[in-house]
Structure formats: C-alpha cells, structure tokens
Chain A
Amino acid sequence: MRPSSQPDTMTDAWLAGQRTAFAACRDSLPGSGTPWVDALRAEAFRQFEEDGPPTARIEEWRSGPTAALTGQVFAPAAPDGARAAAVPAPYLEGPRHRLVFVDGRFSPDHSDAGEPPEGVRLTTLSALLAENPQAARDLIGDPDAFAEERLSRVTDRRPQALVALNTALASDGAVLLIEDGVALAHPLEVVHVARETEEPRAHHLRTLIALGAGARAHVVEVHAGGSAGVWTNHVTDIAVGAGARLEHVRADAGSETAVHVNVAHARLRAGAAYAGFVLAATGGAVRTETRLSLEEPGADGEVNGVCLARESGHIDALTRLDHHAREGTSRQLWRGIFADTARGAFQGRIRVLPDASGTNAALDNRNLLLNAGARAESKPELEILTDDVACSHASATGELDADALFYLRSRGLSEQLARALLMEAFTGAVADRIAHEGMREFVRRLVDDRLHALGSATS
C-alpha cells in the first residue's frame, strides 16, 4: 500500500486496477454478447472512469469510508471451484425460499428456491440476462437515476460512481419479479458469501426486485463470510407497484473486517409501501445507502437501521427519502452504538418536492458512544419545497445512561449484563418495527450476537 501522502497516485493505481478488471472480465460477465447489455456496461464504466472513486469532496461522501475503499486495489473475485465455501445454515426458521451466492456467483448446490407460487419469478441476474434480457433492461437502474442534481459549489463529480462500477461489473444477484396481485407467502432469503482472501477482491452484486400492483413480499439479504481483503459493492434495485408492499432486511452477518458498500434504491407507486431495515455491524468499513422515491400519491416508506461498530470500524449510513407526490408518509428510526475508536456518521435527508403536499415524514437518529475514543456524527436534513407538510427530526448522541446503569446494578445485574440490557433496549425498538415475525426474530438474534461482540470488546 502506498503512503497516503500520494493520494492522486493511489487513485490512479486504483482506477488502473478497475480498468484492468473490466477489460479482463467484460466478455465473461452475465449478458455479455447481448448488445444493449454490452453497451450499458461500457457506458457505465465510462461514467465511472469519468467520476473516479468517491472522495470526501463529494458532499454525500463527506464522511464515507473513502480511504478504506481506495487503500487497496481490489480485483474482481474470480470463480474458484477448488475452494469450498463455508456457507451458513439458513438464517430464517420455517418455510422460505433461499438463494445463495458464493463470491458473487449463484451457487445452486447451496440454494433452495422452493416452489414459488404462480406469478412469481425467482431467479438470478445471470439467468434472467440469458433467458429474457428485455425484462432485466427495464429493471436495472441507470446510475443517473440515483444521482443528485449536480451541486457545483461542492463538486462536479457524481456521488454514484460505485453504482456505475457495479453496473459495469455486476457478476450476479437475486431477481424477484412478482406479478400484479400475487403474494409471496414465504420470505426470500438471499445469502452472499464471500470467501476469505489474501489478495484484495471485489464483489459486485446486483439484486433486482419488482412487485406488481398489490403484490406482497418479504426479502432478507444477508452478507456472510469475508475477510479483510474483501470489498462488497452491492446494489439493489427495487420497484414497488401500486398498493404493493415489500418488507426488506439487509444485514451484515459476516466478517467484521471487510469493506462493505451497499445501495438500495426503491421506487414506490401510488399507495405502495416499502419497509426497510439495515443492520450494519463492523470493525472494518461500511457504507450503506437507502434511497426511496415516493413517486405517486399515498406511498409509505420506512427505513430503519442499527449500526454497530467497534475497534477502528467506520459506518457511514445515508438515507434519501424523496416525496414527489401528495399524501406520502415516511418514517426513519436509526440507532448506532460505537465502541473503542469506531466512528459513525448518519446523513438522513427528507426531501418534500413541490407536488408533495400532505406529506408526513419523521426521522429519529440516536447514537451511543461506549468509549471516549468513539465518535458519531448525525446530520438530518430537511428540504421542504411545499407548505402543508408535517416533518420532524430528532437526533442525539450520548453515553449509556449512568442512572439507568446504577439502577440495574443496584438490583443485582452485573455491570456487563446491565450494559448489555440497555444496549438491547436501545436497538430493540428498531428491530421490533419488523412486521414479519421470522425476520424480526432473525434480526434480534443477529443484533444480540453483534452486541455481544461489542460488549466483550469494551469490557
């Protein structure tokens, strides 16, 4: 690794590494040979090159883990059938559909798609591009669709370079397409396993979810495995049709040393509902973005998250909720706990556009710092371009309540148990928002495990 006093040289090396990677694998990526796919990938890569890797000069990446990202030149993970992967047992109890990807490629042996009902297409990006590329074309988001208006006072670069890179290099991912009025009764569990690696390896994953009018689904995306050399760049494109409802959990269950970037972008039609939950847990670096566009009247968006970082870990969480149409509602509940010298940043924006009268939006972010060396930054932003709205935001950062700790200890709980109970309570309110019981139980277990790691790191 080069010294940080030569950032431009480092960035050049990083960019050169991506160029080599794209040249090496563009002919073997899913959809290769299909003209529009080739064109899309080429254009996306050109756009990525133009923008370069994100830097702190871009407002949306001001507190992002840019150094962790560009500190190593990651090459795309290559299929390696010779090495067995440690694939975890299913996370959800009870009936489920399960798709497993290892090092960014579908693993039929570990998957159990079950029998989805008629009207549900459960497949992979590579299969969809092979069988029905046109269906995929409508779903893959143009990186510009994610982009903010350029703010020349900040930068000319677009903040979504990594989405462009993902579009260029995506190796595979889950695809869930549901026709109008159809409900997927059992949840879909998508597991991305990264194998440990000595060499820096990148995983570009692309999930596509589209629910027709009145459709229903529950989806869990879990990241497992991994190691210090792993960078995951995961994009989930979501379309929720009129009156449809999607509950969507994204969770880190793997290595706490990897670099993890994910973006979910959901477009909501009239009366659609999206309920999202994010668990980011790391001693490495995580950037998690959730972007909702409430495009038509009466849509409802919920984006909640728990961020747990320890050691020198860094979590940068960003939400962008855009209310485009009237009578939309949205809620955001985020809790962060930071131990050791970890740092966290939460940027949450609610934007109410001129046509979105009658909007009701709320955002609540609270952070706990367990050690003097830990830091958390909370930056709620309201951008309201119409009257007749109800928007609220709250944010606070502090330590565990000393009075509550003493109260619990005076009743006989050890300090460690008392701290654990308070941390569980702090995060439990977020996990409890998950409507699907099996998904809620899974998240609570995972959060408790991760809290345990946090507790033992600090005791």
Chain B
Amino acid sequence: MSEPLLSIRNLRASVDDKEVLKGIDLSVAAGEVAAIMGPNGSGKSTLSNVLAGRDGYEVTDGEVRYDGQDLLAMEPEERAATGVFMAFQYPVEIPGVVNATFTRTALNAQRKARGESAIDAIDFLKRARATLGRLEMDEDFLRRDVNAGFSGGEKKRNEIFQMAMLEPRLAILDETDSGLDIDALRIVATGVNAMRNPERTLVVITHYQRLLEYVVPDSVHVLADGRIARSGDRELALELERAGYAAFQPA
C-alpha cells in the first residue's frame, strides 16, 4: 500500500497525570480498514479521544501525522474539516437541536472551511433521504432532536448516518458495536461497508470480534497496556476471540 494516511509514532498521553498511552506506533494506509482491539483499560478510548482532540488528554510525547499534517496541532473542528470523523461510543444527546439542522450545519461548516460552497436545504434533503434509506432509517430521524431519546441502536445508526453525509477520509469508529443487537449490528455494518473505498480509511476500535465478521479488516492491532502489543491480519481477531486477551494482560 501507498504512503500511510495516518501515522502514529511513539504516542504517549496522560489523563489526570496518569500515563495511559505508553508509546503507540501505528500506520494506516489510505483505503485500509484497521481494527484496534484490546481489553478494557488498555487505552482504546484514550486513543480515540486523543485523535479526535478532546480536552483533558495530555500528549506528553510522540506525534500523529494525518495526510502529511500534524493532527495534534489542530482544533477538533479543523480535524473534521480535513476529513477526520469520529463515531462516538456514547453519542451526545442535544435536545433542542434538530438532527437535519445539525447535520447540514456541520456539513456546511466543513465545506466552508475547505473553501467549498454551501449545500442548500433541498439538495441536502435529497442526499439525506437516500442515505437514510441505505441505513434502513426512518425519515423521522431528520426531524428529531440530535440523539435525544434515541435508543442505543438509533444513536449508533445516527453516527453512521452523519459519517455517510460528511464523507470523511479517515473515520474512527469507537466501540460502534457496543450495545447493539444483532439486527442493529448488521445494519450498522452494512452502512460502514457501503463507505469503504480506496480513498477512505477506517479505524475500527472494538473490544469484540463480532463487528469484524461484517466489516472485514485489512489489519488487526492489539492494544494492551497503552502499546500496540501485536499486529496481524484478520486471523489475529479470530484468535483473540478464541483465546481472549489473557496473553496481553499485565502480569
């Protein structure tokens, strides 16, 4: 594969003065689907939060290059405008903000930052309807307040809907499979697979292997105690499913 789109070198990060990421090295190429798997407490959510730019995470060493740029120097909204998307493990409820308004505002904020023209309400609606259809989501989603009163599955599908509308180059899916029943998992996976193309990179962060049965990764990396302990192909995920993370837990 070509030059990596995302390249993480010796990334160290602390939360409340406690080091959680202890030197992560990872490269993901354009078009690659990389799975990051690990037990609870291994640093999975810290890694996704650092990549998305959430406050409260102190990067103490190392760097993250995205498409040749210093990702960590960018504000969260700048990361979004250059094509980074994070599907949250716990999507936030925002009562009073209508989903359609929010998604269109986000899309146009990104387009504006890239010097592109705004999408008008009618074109937006056309695209949104088509996308909802693919995700087996009711059009009612557009009129509801962002995630307010959504079930766990609806929230995750809403994340995938937004991802589809925003068309990122790098999507980080943080535990997108958690809390989903098998039908919702299949729908979400279908949505994710529809997004796969040679230009788009996906980083799938998960505890379990089951999402990877649907979204088949090109590479699998085991995160343990703040480091990438092992990398391999899809077989590694299956092995973890059989043997668990015991071999990677600190003694």
- Looking at A7-15, A55-63, A348-356, A405-413, the stretch in contact with chain B turns out to be A405-413
Q: A412-B166, A415-B77, A428-B96 are in contact. Are A406 and B110 (CB under 8 A)?
A: no
CB of A151 closer than 8 Å to a CB of B: no
Residues 248 to 281 of chain A near chain B (Cβ within 8 Å): none
Interface bin, chain B: 20 to 34
CB of A421 closer than 8 Å to a CB of B: yes
| Min C-beta distance of A54 to chain B, whole Å | 36
**A residues with CB within 8 A of B:** 401-404, 406-415, 417-418, 421-422, 424-426, 428-429
Which residue of B54, B80, B96 contacts A411 across the interface (Cβ within 8 Å)?
Answer: B80
Q: Which residues of A contact B55 (CB under 8 A)?
A: 402, 406
User: How far is it, in angstroms, between the C-alpha of A186 and the C-alpha of B79 when the chains are bound?
Assistant: 50
Asked if residues A425 and B92 are in contact (CB atoms below 8 Å), the reply is: no
CB of B223 closer than 8 Å to a CB of A: no
| Min C-beta distance of A9 to chain B, whole Å | 49
Q: Which residues of A contact B91 (CB under 8 A)?
A: 407
User: How far is it, in angstroms, between the C-alpha of A413 and the C-alpha of B75 when the chains are bound?
Assistant: 11
| Min C-beta distance of A310 to chain B, whole Å | 21
Give a binary string over B62-88; 1 marks a CB under 8 Å from any A CB, 0 the rest. Answer: 000000000000011101110001101
Asked if residues A404 and B109 are in contact (CB atoms below 8 Å), the reply is: no
Residue of A nearest to B147 (CB): A407
User: How far is it, in angstroms, between the C-alpha of A429 and the C-alpha of B96 when the chains are bound?
Assistant: 6
Q: Which residues of A contact B53 (CB under 8 A)?
A: 409-410
User: How far is it, in angstroms, between the C-alpha of A202 and the C-alpha of B8 when the chains are bound?
Assistant: 67
Which residue of B81, B94, B166 contacts A422 across the interface (Cβ within 8 Å)?
Answer: B94
User: How far is it, in angstroms, between the C-alpha of A414 and the C-alpha of B109 when the chains are bound?
Assistant: 8
User: How far is it, in angstroms, between the C-alpha of A422 and the C-alpha of B110 when the chains are bound?
Assistant: 18
Asked if residues A421 and B105 are in contact (CB atoms below 8 Å), the reply is: yes
Q: Could you list 20 further interchain pairs (A-B, Cβ under 8 angstroms) beyond the known A411-B162, A412-B81, A425-B94? A: A404-B94, A406-B54, A406-B76, A406-B92, A409-B76, A410-B79, A410-B80, A411-B106, A411-B109, A411-B166, A412-B106, A412-B109, A413-B105, A415-B77, A418-B77, A421-B102, A422-B94, A422-B97, A424-B96, A425-B97
Q: Which residues of A contact B105 (CB under 8 A)?
A: 413, 417, 421
User: How far is it, in angstroms, between the C-alpha of A414 and the C-alpha of B76 when the chains are bound?
Assistant: 9
Asked if residues B76 and A425 are in contact (CB atoms below 8 Å), the reply is: no
User: How far is it, in angstroms, between the C-alpha of A404 and the C-alpha of B88 when the chains are bound?
Assistant: 12
Residue of A nearest to B53 (CB): A410
CB of B37 closer than 8 Å to a CB of A: no
Asked if residues B96 and A410 are in contact (CB atoms below 8 Å), the reply is: no
Asked if residues A404 and B77 are in contact (CB atoms below 8 Å), the reply is: no
Q: Offer 15 A-B interface pairs, CB within 8 angstroms, sorted by A.
A: A407-B88, A408-B102, A409-B75, A409-B77, A410-B85, A411-B162, A412-B109, A412-B113, A413-B77, A415-B75, A417-B109, A418-B77, A424-B97, A425-B94, A425-B96
CB of B95 closer than 8 Å to a CB of A: yes
CB of B52 closer than 8 Å to a CB of A: yes
